[in-house]
């Protein structure tokens, strides 16, 4: 693999599924996994097999059917977790066991109630056990960014020495900032013996809205796997959004000279499939895939976009497989966009007639949040509107 090729590890079906409103049936996970394969991700984390019978069945079904990407299953350091993960994964074409154990003092003392030495012993024996099953083993020191750095290095060293092939550094609670995260990744590369022989991965949560920025900073420091989810779903404020990472690399390749195997044109379909599967769609102003990501309501913007979309769009909707941009008519819209919409509806409205209709339109837009095509037709003089209304056009303006 080239030095700039980044492995995309999708955890929509595991971390994403852990968020409220996101649980999925085996059939739903399988359908999404097929789409993730089409999207071109390198690794699909299909679930946490010991967590439930359903999760076990989902990981097993994905492992059996989805053959190109690696399929990962999550496990704690307990032997029964690792055995269960392997049982679910064993028929995969390319299985990966992903083991995690917290390394921050707050997690060790308050949650796990074990000492640092106990943690090191657990890491060593868990990875040795997993390697007995599978050549591809990932280790995550949970809450890495709040762990004492010297101890984090010891934990990672124990994992590398025991045979982990990927070391994932999670910002579990979305606490770090880009500069600090870059230093953590750089520091690990300096301090841990043999780390040059493993892939360094990052897994960032979005509690401060920095998940993607932190992920990109880590790539600059030498990480070569990104863990992410479609639409950024995941615990609390979510995980780094796959579509944002991938499109940042594409649109700003001049500053972020990395490549992935993701097919940009499948991003929108994947986002929509996920939204139909879980309880919610991405927020309208969500970068890349939100309903407003390519919508323009303000008159100056509409004029610019109608002249040349690049005035206000840094990527085309087609580049992510989305339908074309939307010119939305609202109180900030101008005459250009209004006349264009009328033309699309089959009415030629120009000159003084357009001035009059535009006055009625802005008054209506002050009162209403959404303006529909019927509203626009109703603003036309009666003599003009009657025949066309029979055509019964409806739906949102734009």
Say which entry of Zn ion, ligand KIV, none residue 142 contacts (CB below 5 to 8 A, set by partner kind).
ligand KIV
Position with the least CB separation from Zn ion: 15
Q: Which residues from 91-110 bind ligand KIV, rule CB under 6 A?
A: 100
From the list 11-19, 39-47, 251-259, 327-335, the region that binds Zn ion by CB under 5 A is 11-19
User: Does position 140 bind ligand KIV by CB under 6 A?
Assistant: yes
Of these, 107, 203, 286, 336, which contacts ligand KIV (CB under 6 A)?
203
Q: How far is the CB of 174 from ligand KIV (least distance, A)?
A: 9
Q: Which stretch binds ligand KIV (CB under 6 A): 19-27, 164-172, 249-257, 330-338?
A: 164-172
Query: Closest separation between CB of residue 155 and Zn ion, Å?
Result: 17
**How far apart are the C-alpha atoms of 29 and 338, rounded to whole Å?**
44
CA geometry: angle 302, 305, 306, nearest 5 deg: 80
The only residue of 15, 17, 142, 266 in contact with Zn ion, by rule CB under 5 A: 15
| Smallest separation, CB 220 to ligand KIV (Å) | 21
Nearer to ligand KIV, 205 or 296 (CB): 205
Specify the residue, 70 or 205, whose C-beta has the smaller distance to ligand KIV: 205
Q: What is the closest distance, in whole angstroms, from the C-beta atom of residue 203 to ligand KIV in the complex?
A: 5
Q: How far is the CB of 376 from ligand KIV (least distance, A)?
A: 48
Interaction site with Zn ion (CB under 5 A): 15
Q: Which residues bind ligand KIV (CB under 6 A)?
A: 15, 100, 140, 142, 168, 170, 172, 203, 205
């Amino acid at each position: 693999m080239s030095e700039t090729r980044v492995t995309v590890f999708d955890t929509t079906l595991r971390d994403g599924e852990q968020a409220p409103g996101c649980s999925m049936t085996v059939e739903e996970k399988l359908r999404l996994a097929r789409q993730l394969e089409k999207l071109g991700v390198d690794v699909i984390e299909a679930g946490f097999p010991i967590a439930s019978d359903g999760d076990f069945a989902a990981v097993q079904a994905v492992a059996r059917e989805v053959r190109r990407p690696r399929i990962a299953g999550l496990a704690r350091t307990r032997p029964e977790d690792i055995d269960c993960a392997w049982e679910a994964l064993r028929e995969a074409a390319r299985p990966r066991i992903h083991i995690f154990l917290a390394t921050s003092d707050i997690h060790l003392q308050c949650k796990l109630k074990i000492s640092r030495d106990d943690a090191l012993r657990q890491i060593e024996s868990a990875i040795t056990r997993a390697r007995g099953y599978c050549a591809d083993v990932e280790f995550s020191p949970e809450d890495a960014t709040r762990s004492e750095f010297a101890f984090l290095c010891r934990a990672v060293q124990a994992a590398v020495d025991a045979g982990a092939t990927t070391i994932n550094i999670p910002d579990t609670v979305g606490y770090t900032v880009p500069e600090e995260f870059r230093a953590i990744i750089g520091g690990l590369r300096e301090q841990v013996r043999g780390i040059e022989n493993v892939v360094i991965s990052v897994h960032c949560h979005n509690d401060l809205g920095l998940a993607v920025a932190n992920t990109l900073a880590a790539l600059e420091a030498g990480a070569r796997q990104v863990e992410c989810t479609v639409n950024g779903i995941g615990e609390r404020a979510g995980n780094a959004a796959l579509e944002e990472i991938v499109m940042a690399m594409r649109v700003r390749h001049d500053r972020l000279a990395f490549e992935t195997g993701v097919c940009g044109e499948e991003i929108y379909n994947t986002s929509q499939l996920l939204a139909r599967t879980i309880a919610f769609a991405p927020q309208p102003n969500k970068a890349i895939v939100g309903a407003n990501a390519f919508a323009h309501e303000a008159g100056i913007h509409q004029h610019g976009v109608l002249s040349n979309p690049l005035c206000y769009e840094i990527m085309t909707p087609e580049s992510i497989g989305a339908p074309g941009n939307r010119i939305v008519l609202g109180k900030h819209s101008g005459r250009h966009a209004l006349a264009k919409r009328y033309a699309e509806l089959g009415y030629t409205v120009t000159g003084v007639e357009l001035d009059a209709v535009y006055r009625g339109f802005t008054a209506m837009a002050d009162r209403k949040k959404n303006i529909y095509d019927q509203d626009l037709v109703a603003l036309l003089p009666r003599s003009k509107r009657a025949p066309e209304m029979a055509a019964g056009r409806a739906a949102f303006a734009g």
